Structure 1
Amino acid sequence: MKDFLPVLKILLRFVVIYIVLVLLYQFYLNSYANEVVDPFTRWVAVQVKWLQDGLGFPTVLIDHMKFHSVLFQTDGKITTRMVEGCNVISVVVLFAAFIFAFYKGAKTFLFVFGGIVLLHFLNVSRIALLNIIFLKYPAYEKVGHDYIFPAIIYGGVIILWLIWIQFFALKKSDKS
């Protein structure tokens, strides 16, 4: 049992941190239950619009209260809708809980912050590209939405996890 103690500690830290972060996020979401979307989701939608505008796909954001979403209208066509699940926070919670489970001091906070920024950038880019696919290549909508673009986000998380484990969590300190 003594051999498994370090693994059990890491697993327990992960579960506790994950539950706390999920509960905090749910509390945040509950406080915006009567809104179209929460402020962070709206912020992501605005950034997607900005990126699409910059790529030559002028976009209008339309609030849709019935579905609690922001619709992207590009070239007069509704391409997709932005819901809370598209804002990457649930993925960031999973990412951060794993990294903090292997806590290594202040660099843990820096790595999590950098990872969050990277995942946010990947997310905004993937939503913009998904809207463009929906507009220009509708035959690839399902493949893009269900397979390719989730793989980008989750692939990013896995790569960050592997970097953390390989170069930080398992690296022997100079003191040992």
Structure 2
Amino acid sequence: MRFTATGRELVELARTTLDAWWDGIQRGARGAAGALTVGSTRYTLGYLLTAGELARAQTPRDGVRPRAVHVRTAESLPRLRAGELDLMCGSVATVGSAPELAGFEAMEWRRSGLALLTNLPADRLPGPRARVGELPTLPLVVPSTGLIGGFLRGWFGAGFRRALTVAAEVDTIG
């Protein structure tokens, strides 16, 4: 692989950042009898497993025992507050100044758009993307709980199901 000068600088910055992060994890885990519990949502699990493989190669000699657990988005902040997790990798839905994140340090890794499903054929859609104001005109497939429900409540209020055309409600979309 060949990197530009900027690319090399970014790689070095990433290395030093991850090294510092890893040193902090080791110090923290040693203070907690060597255990490090990391929560992950379904969509970040693959990234976490890759990082876990790299960490496991180093942890036996460092005395840190990483443990990954699956956590639904809605459970992440309560489980962090309860001390069940040392670190959480996953999505968080916030509105406004995000008071629910008080006491936590959140690092935005990536921001992506929200995807909703409809049972309309492509020729009946308003385009490749629908604006929030167009959602009430579309029959939607929405989950009964979780991150997407949080966004819909933020946009349309607690009675979002009455404001939208919910064609189906499911527990998981996968």
In which range does the TM-score fall when normalised by the shorter chain? under 0.3
Give the structure-1-normalised TM-score.
0.25
Give the structure-2-normalised TM-score.
0.26
Identify which of structures 1 and 2 has the higher relative contact order when contacts are C-alpha pairs closer than 8 Å and 6+ apart: 1
Q: Which has the larger helix fraction?
A: 1
Q: Which has the larger radius of gyration?
A: 2
Q: Which has the larger strand fraction?
A: 2
